[in-house]
Amino acid sequence: MSRRFGELAAADPSPRAVAVASLAETLTRAVALGDEEAARVVHEAIGQLLGLTSAPEGRASSRRR
C-alpha cells in the first residue's frame, strides 16, 4: 500500500490515548446534559492521565464569569 506525498502513516494509539479519547467523549456528553459534577470528575481524570495537576478550588471558580 503506497502513500501519497504529505499523507501520514497510521499509528496505533497508546492505551492511555484511547482512554483519554473515551473520557473526552464522556466529558462532552456530561456537559451537553448539564451534569456539572460528572463533567468535573471526568475532567479531573483526564488531567491525571495526562500528568497535569489540578488548580486550587478558589482559582478555578474565579475564572467563571
Chunked into runs of 10 residues, the chain (65 residues) has average pLDDT values of 70 91 97 98 95 64 47
Q: Percent of the chain beyond pLDDT 90?
A: 57
Position 54 scores a pLDDT of 61
Query: According to the model, what pLDDT value does residue 3 have?
Result: 65
Closest to 13 measured CA to CA, from 5, 26, 2, 22? 22
Model-level pTM?
0.62
Would you state the pLDDT for residue 62? Answer: 46
What's the confidence (pLDDT) of residue 65? Answer: 43
Helix axes 36-49, 15-33, angle to 10 degrees: 160
Name every residue whose Cβ is closer than 8 Å to that of residue 19 and which is 6 or more positions away in sequence: 49
Contact predicate 44/36, CB 8 Å? no
